Amino acid sequence: MAPRNPKQSAPPLTQPRADGDDAVVLERRSQRTQPPQMFQVVLLNDDFTPMEFVVQVLQEFFNKDRQAATQIMLKIHLEGKGICGVYSRDIANTKVEQVQQAAHSAGHPLQCLSEPIE
């Protein structure tokens, strides 16, 4: 590293005004960060996956109690799909992978996906 010459100074931050006054005006800029986009994890209905397995998945991976898991399972069964939870992108993708792996291991065609919330 080269030694610093004390005669060299940083350029002045202000420009002298005609009346001899040095003035600095700083503008305050508010920086607001946007909250992360959220994703909903959705289970899709099929004619082969047992309802009890869906309830078990909801309890295990989405921390639902038995009653809430049963309500979501019935919504999936009657309406074709149901929302299991809302998470950030990474967590939603992890939940989808966990459910698909559990379904595949159990031999069920249960489909799970994540959708961005508008």
- Do the beta carbons of residue 14 and residue 46 sit within 8 Å? no
In a domain, 29, yes or no: no
In a domain, 2, yes or no: no
Specify the pTM.
Answer: 0.72
**Domains in the chain, number:** 1
- Do the beta carbons of residue 109 and residue 46 sit within 8 Å? yes
In a domain, 17, yes or no: no
Q: Residue 75: which domain range?
A: 38-116
pLDDT at 94 over 80: yes
CATH number at residue 65: 3.30.1390.10
Beta bridge partners of 64: none
In a domain, 48, yes or no: yes
Lowest mean pLDDT among 27-31, 69-73, 92-96: 27-31
In a domain, 98, yes or no: yes
In a domain, 56, yes or no: yes
Check residues 29 and 106 and name the one with the higher pLDDT. Answer: 106
In a domain, 15, yes or no: no
